[in-house]
């Protein structure tokens, strides 16, 4: 055992003592350690001297001084041995508790565990520096040039600072290098989410198995039932109406008149080509489609829209906008840029501008569900479904003052699919805007259902899409990464799959409500530990 390892064990023991057991010691650990060492050395010297002195042989009963020496010796040996024994015992019991049998433990019963694996050389010093604040936690990656080690030491520092363990938060199983500069700063682990698969969804003549990351029992089963009804009726069909990401900077001018002049300049068809040439320099894929302006006094909001290939495109459009702002300064040197985003974009907010103009991909998806399928799979009638949709999704949402929320639960499906496929889950706000329409057709026998979703913001490259598990879900749908033959085709296909899945979800939930089954099925799927496979009928 080398000196570093001994140092590590003593430090581990100290951690143990300063953590759980510190309150039991009357003196600071450093002092008790020192006293034990001094006591051991002095009593050992005294014992050696007594043993080697033929004039004063050690024999029982011991005299007062001999007795004190032996007690000091024993006490210091026991104390120092405990420094080594406690961490050994704790790590052994920790291994047992990790549950090789997969059994669950109550978090409260778990003592904070030390670093996940054997400390590397210098780990102890680095963790101590983070704990003391000498080394900022966010510098670990650049300092160590090893993202996994940085995350491991950050986690250990966090454990010491808070006194709380992170045992339930997995550490192994994610590529920390892939996260850096792309997905997450200062990682300490990752959160587990179950991924279910609904389908096949028969959409535009092809079958898709739809991955959904969710913790809401019933959701995947419900979408699965909707997919069955759609497939049994010949499938769903989608149309992509528009494909344009937007960014709207806010700029200030000396007067409303000047702001209006800038609006005229930017919106003049004669200037579009020049502005587009400047905008398009930023990327091979970003292509300016238009600029729509709005004024608030002397502030001007310019909503740039552009195609972005297979990327969701926020970075791409922002870079193009920056180029154009630089160019506009030539003619409007009195223009002050307040912010590259002035909220008229609108990103991650429920707004009318997205609902009316669209953002990302605008998709309509429809299906005609046969009357017999409504009866056999959805356990309700066409008439009841149509009436429910009017009263709930249209009138009810109008009464509530909804902004694009004329649907039963589009956000449920959008969010689960977004998380599974590495989209930005916060964009579910506008991506879930949806109006669901139901009509009786074919003399009232069959049901026509459609979802219209103007702002589905998805990409198959960039952001979280390259992470291993998210890329696997994109791969399952056949839309992983960029489409080299036809840039943008993968992202557009993903948007139609989102709309198709929403269609399935709407159909199934509305049917459950019409048949009065909602609470019953939630009890079955959310509360039961029984096998749910039998229940998806
Ligand atoms: P976003 O704009 O969605 O935030 P990024 O900033 O990561 O995404 O941009 C996507 C990157 O991927 C760009 O650098 C772009 O040049 C590159 N790329 C490669 N192939 C494609 C493609 N088919 N569509 C879009 N971007 C692509």
Q: What is the Cα–Cα distance from 339 to 301, expressed in whole angstroms?
A: 10
Q: Which of 146, 179, 212 is the last residue of a domain?
A: 179
Residues 214 and 253 in one domain: no
Structure tokens at 254: 């000396």
Nearest-10 Cα torsion for 192, 196, 202, 205: 40
First CA to last CA distance, the chain: 63
Residue 505 lies in a domain: yes
The CA 255 to ligand 1 mean position distance, Å, reads: 38
Residue nearest to atom 7 of ligand 1 (CA): 462
Q: Between 522 and 239, name the one with better pLDDT.
A: 239
Residue 331 contacts residue 290 (beta carbons within 8 Å): no
Residue 189 lies in a domain: no
Residue nearest to atom 26 of ligand 1 (CA): 311
Protein residues with CB under 6 Å of any ligand 1 atom: 283-285, 308-316, 459, 461-463, 482-483, 487
Average pLDDT score over residue span 261-282: 98
Active site (catalytic) residues: 216, 348, 424, 522
Residue-level pLDDT at 56: 61
Residue 354 lies in a domain: no
Q: Average per-residue pLDDT in the chain? A: 87
Residue 537 lies in a domain: no
Residue-level pLDDT at 398: 98
The CA 463 to ligand 1 mean position distance, Å, reads: 9
The CA 311 to ligand 1 mean position distance, Å, reads: 5
Q: How confident is the model at residue 48 (pLDDT cuts 50, 70, 90)?
A: confident
Q: What is the pTM of this model?
A: 0.78
pLDDT digits (tens, 9 = 90+) for 228-239: 999 999 999 999
Residue-level pLDDT at 345: 98
Please give the helix or strand (H or E) that residue 300 lies within, else none: strand 299-307
Residue 310 alpha carbon, nearest atom of ligand 1: 24
Residue-level pLDDT at 23: 36
Residue-level pLDDT at 30: 61
The CA 379 to ligand 1 mean position distance, Å, reads: 45
Residue-level pLDDT at 72: 76
Strands 405-406, 434-441: parallel, antiparallel or unpaired by DSSP? parallel
Residue-level pLDDT at 3: 39
pLDDT digits (tens, 9 = 90+) for 126-185: 999 999 999 999 999 999 999 999 999 999 999 999 999 999 999 999 999 999 999 999
Residues 522 and 453 in one domain: yes
Q: How confident is the model at residue 49 (pLDDT cuts 50, 70, 90)?
A: confident
Q: What is the Cα–Cα distance from 47 to 218, expressed in whole angstroms?
A: 75
Average pLDDT score over residue span 47-56: 71
Lowest mean pLDDT among 33-47, 360-374, 405-419: 33-47
Average pLDDT score over residue span 29-37: 71
Res. 354: pLDDT tops 90: yes
The CA 284 to ligand 1 mean position distance, Å, reads: 9
Average pLDDT score over residue span 60-79: 76
Res. 534: pLDDT tops 90: no
pLDDT digits (tens, 9 = 90+) for 403-412: 999 999 999 9
Res. 331: pLDDT tops 90: yes
For 57, phi and psi rounded to 5 degrees? -65, 150
pLDDT digits (tens, 9 = 90+) for 486-514: 999 999 999 999 999 999 999 999 999 99
162 three-state secondary structure:
helix
Q: For the chain, state the CA radius of gyration.
A: 33
Nearest to 152 by CA among 168, 136, 140: 140
Res. 16: pLDDT tops 50: no
**3-state helix, strand and coil shares in percent for the chain, rounded to the nearest 5:** 50, 15, 35
Residues 418 and 457 in one domain: yes
Residue 318 alpha carbon, nearest atom of ligand 1: 2
pLDDT digits (tens, 9 = 90+) for 366-389: 999 999 999 999 999 999 999 999
Q: How confident is the model at residue 527 (pLDDT cuts 50, 70, 90)?
A: low
Domain count, the chain: 3
Residues 333 and 369 in one domain: no
Residue-level pLDDT at 67: 78
> Among 305, 462, 482, which residue has the most ligand 1 atoms within 8 Å of its CB, making it the best to mutate?
462
Q: For residue 285, what are the contacts with CB-CB under 8 A and spacing of at least 6?
A: 307, 308, 309, 310, 311, 316, 487, 488
Nearest to 457 by CA among 354, 365, 356: 354
Residues 280 and 322 in one domain: yes
Residue nearest to atom 5 of ligand 1 (CA): 462
Residues 45 and 162 in one domain: yes
Q: Which of 124, 148, 179 is the last residue of a domain?
A: 179
Nearest to 127 by CA among 115, 118, 117: 115
Residue 203 lies in a domain: yes
Residue 8 lies in a domain: yes
Q: How confident is the model at residue 43 (pLDDT cuts 50, 70, 90)?
A: confident
Lowest mean pLDDT among 86-95, 265-274, 446-455: 86-95
Residues 35 and 75 in one domain: yes
CATH number at residue 254: 3.30.70.420
> Among 287, 313, 316, which residue has the most ligand 1 atoms within 8 Å of its CB, making it the best to mutate?
316
Residue nearest to atom 14 of ligand 1 (CA): 283
Residues 221 and 277 in one domain: no
Residues 508 and 407 in one domain: yes
Residue 316 alpha carbon, nearest atom of ligand 1: 2
Res. 103: pLDDT tops 50: no
Q: How confident is the model at residue 54 (pLDDT cuts 50, 70, 90)?
A: low
Please give the share of the chain, as a percent, with pLDDT higher than 70: 82
Residue 483 alpha carbon, nearest atom of ligand 1: 23
Q: How confident is the model at residue 13 (pLDDT cuts 50, 70, 90)?
A: very low
Give the Å distances, CA to CA, from 36 to 26, 72, 129, 361, 536.
14, 9, 27, 71, 68
Residues 263 and 134 in one domain: no
Residue-level pLDDT at 39: 81
Which domain range does residue 32 map to? Answer: 3-179
The CA 462 to ligand 1 mean position distance, Å, reads: 6
Query: Which alpha helices (H) appear in 98-146, and where do they start and end?
Result: 123-132, 140-144
Residues 365 and 335 in one domain: no
> Among 340, 341, 461, 467, which residue has the most ligand 1 atoms within 8 Å of its CB, making it the best to mutate?
461
pLDDT digits (tens, 9 = 90+) for 187-206: 999 999 999 999 999 999 99
Residue 452 lies in a domain: yes
Residue-level pLDDT at 83: 63
Res. 14: pLDDT tops 80: no
Average pLDDT score over residue span 94-113: 38
CATH number at residue 408: 3.90.770.10
Q: Which of 179, 214, 232 is the last residue of a domain?
A: 179
Q: What is the Cα–Cα distance from 173 to 169, expressed in whole angstroms?
A: 11
Residue-level pLDDT at 76: 79
Res. 22: pLDDT tops 50: no
Average pLDDT score over residue span 280-299: 97
Residue 350 lies in a domain: no
Res. 98: pLDDT tops 60: no
Residues 238 and 254 in one domain: no
pLDDT digits (tens, 9 = 90+) for 104-143: 333 333 444 566 566 777 999 999 999 999 999 999 999 9
Q: How confident is the model at residue 69 (pLDDT cuts 50, 70, 90)?
A: confident
Residue 120 contacts residue 149 (beta carbons within 8 Å): yes
């Amino acid at each position: 055992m080398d000196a570093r390892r001994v140092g590590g064990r003593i430090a581990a023991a100290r951690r143990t003592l300063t953590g759980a057991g510190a309150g039991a010691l009357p003196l600071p650990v450093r002092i008790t350690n020192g006293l034990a060492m001094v006591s051991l050395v002095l009593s050992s010297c005294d014992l050696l001297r007594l043993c080697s002195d033929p004039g004063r042989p050690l024999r029982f009963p011991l005299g007062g001084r001999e007795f004190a020496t032996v007690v000091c010796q024993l006490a210091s040996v026991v104390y120092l041995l405990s420094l080594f024994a406690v961490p050994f015992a704790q790590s052994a019991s920790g291994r047992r508790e990790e549950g090789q049998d997969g059994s669950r433990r109550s978090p409260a019963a778990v003592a904070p565990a030390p670093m996940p694996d054997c400390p590397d050389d210098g780990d102890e010093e680095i963790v101590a520096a983070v704990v003391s604040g000498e080394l900022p936690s966010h510098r670990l990656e650049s300092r160590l040039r090893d993202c996994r080690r940085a995350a491991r030491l950050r986690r250990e520092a966090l454990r010491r600072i808070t006194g709380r363990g992170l045992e339930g938060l997995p550490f192994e199983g994610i590529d920390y290098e892939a996260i850096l500069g792309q997905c997450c700063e200062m990682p300490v682990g990752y959160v587990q989410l179950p991924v279910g698969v609904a389908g096949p969804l028969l959409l535009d003549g092809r079958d898709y198995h739809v991955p959904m990351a969710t913790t809401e029992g019933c959701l995947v089963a419900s979408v699965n039932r909707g997919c069955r009804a759609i497939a049994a009726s010949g499938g769903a069909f989608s149309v992509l109406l528009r494909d344009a990401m937007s960014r709207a900077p806010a700029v200030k001018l000396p007067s409303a008149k000047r702001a209006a002049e800038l609006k005229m300049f930017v919106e003049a068809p004669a200037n579009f080509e020049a502005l587009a040439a400047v905008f398009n320099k930023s990327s091979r894929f970003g292509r300016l489609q238009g600029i729509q302006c709005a004024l608030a006094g002397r502030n001007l909001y310019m909503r740039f829209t552009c195609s972005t290939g297979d990327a969701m495109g926020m970075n791409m459009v922002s870079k193009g906008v920056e180029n154009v702002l630089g160019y506009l300064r030539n003619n409007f040197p009195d223009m002050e840029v307040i912010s590259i985003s002035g909220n008229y974009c609108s990103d991650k907010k429920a707004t009318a501008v997205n609902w009316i103009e669209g953002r990302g991909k605008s998709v309509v998806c429809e299906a005609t569900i046969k009357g017999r399928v409504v009866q056999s799979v959805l356990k309700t009638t066409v008439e009841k479904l149509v009436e429910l949709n009017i009263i709930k999704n249209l009138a009810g949402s109008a009464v509530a003052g909804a902004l694009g929320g004329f649907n039963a639960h589009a956000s449920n499906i959008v969010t689960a699919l977004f998380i599974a496929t590495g989209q930005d889950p916060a964009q579910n706000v506008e991506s879930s805007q949806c109006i669901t329409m139901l009509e009786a057709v074919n003399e009232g026998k069959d049901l026509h259902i459609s979802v219209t979703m103007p702002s589905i913001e998805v990409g198959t490259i960039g952001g979280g899409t390259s992470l291993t598990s998210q890329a696997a879900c994109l791969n399952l749908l056949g839309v992983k990464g960029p489409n080299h033959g036809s840039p943008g085709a993968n992202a557009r296909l993903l948007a139609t799959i989102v709309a198709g899945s929403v269609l399935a979800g709407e159909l199934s939930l509305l049917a459950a409500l019409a048949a009065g089954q909602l609470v019953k099925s939630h009890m079955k799927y959310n509360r039961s530990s029984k096998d749910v496979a039998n229940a998806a009928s």
